[in-house]
Amino acid sequence: MISVSFHKWLPRIVIAAFISIFCLFPVASQSRQNRNFPQGSTQGRTEMRGDMRGLDFPNIDVNISRPQNGEQVAFSVQLLLLLTVLTIAPSLLILTTCFLRFSIVLDFIKRALSLQQVPPTSVLNGIALFMTIFIMFPTLQNVYNNSLKPLSNGELTIEQAYREAEAPLRTFMLNQTLSLQSDGAVGSRYISSFLHMANLPDPKGPEDIPTYVIVPAYILHELTVAFKIGVFLYIPFIVIDMVVASILMSMGMMMLPPVQISMPFKLMLFVMVDGWGLLTQQLFQSVIK
């Protein structure tokens, strides 16, 4: 058994000895004689020169101290109010301008045409934004000339600038919200509702209506007008859907989605009547009375 095992392992021992003699030993001896291994490499070291300087990072320090006089307190409060206004400015611009009406109506027309991805929502919001700037430009210009510019020149205080900026926006929202009632008086049921909920007396004139009553009344009015326009936009396209569905059902094609067939016809109708031009023109006329 021992002789058989020795003859079995003898070839492997010979191969291992051959590899050790002819491969490993020359490499080890060469590495001892020449430290530049592998052959052709150079020795080197990593050092930073004495004239080299590292990066200088600034020290950041935050000091919190008590205000020493009333002016510092007023400045801190003004800074806090400015940051608050900048935070809620996008929402204020959306809710106190005609952007709300335009964005809702454009979304309605997209759904009425049975379009899912075209045009994208960002494109529709961009159209609504630039139309809002076009219509609101005189109002915004009055705000800049009467409020922001005098405030930057130091001619008005913050409270006076707020009053001057509030007046054009109040006028715009009241012109949109107030309408001729059935008894011949000019009023708004939304303003009356909010005045009643706030337990405020009936105002003698528009200047007696608080701003915090005008803003929610204007928002509800814009939502109502936008939904009314959306209903009128839906009617012709619903008729097309009904006609296509009836034709498909009479032909026995009940498994074919009617929307897939009616969408090209709705697009052709919308393009033939210059839908985008009519829509923007009517939206403009609905705001500029």
128-181 pLDDT, tens digit per residue, is: 888 888 888 888 888 888 887 887 777 777 778 878 888 888 888 888 887 755
Higher pLDDT, 100 or 57: 100
CA angle in degrees (0–180, nearest 5) for 165-170-175: 140
pLDDT beyond 70 at 62: no
Higher pLDDT, 265 or 56: 265
Q: E strands within 167-267?
A: 179-180, 186-187
- Predicted local distance difference test score (pLDDT) of residue 74: 57
**Residue 9 forms part of a structural domain:** no
Mean pLDDT of the chain: 75
Q: Is the CA virtual torsion 67, 148, 171, 86 positive or negative?
A: negative
77-112, pLDDT tens digit by residue? 667 777 777 788 778 778 888 888 898 998 888 888
Give the span between the Cα atoms of 274 and 289, in whole angstroms.
23
Q: How far is CA 230 from the centre of its chain?
A: 23
**Residue 268 forms part of a structural domain:** yes
Give the span between the Cα atoms of 157 and 248, in whole angstroms.
69
Q: How many domains does the chain have?
A: 1
With 0-12 / 13-18 / 19 or more C-beta atoms within 10 angstroms meaning exposed / middle / buried, residue 48 is exposed
**Residue 63 forms part of a structural domain:** no
**Residue 197 forms part of a structural domain:** yes
pLDDT band at 239 (very low <50, low <70, confident <90, very high): confident
**Residue 20 forms part of a structural domain:** no
**Residue 281 forms part of a structural domain:** yes
Can you give the residue range of the structural domain that contains 129?
A: 73-287
Does the pTM of the predicted model rise above 0.75? no
**Residue 279 forms part of a structural domain:** yes
**Residue 226 forms part of a structural domain:** yes
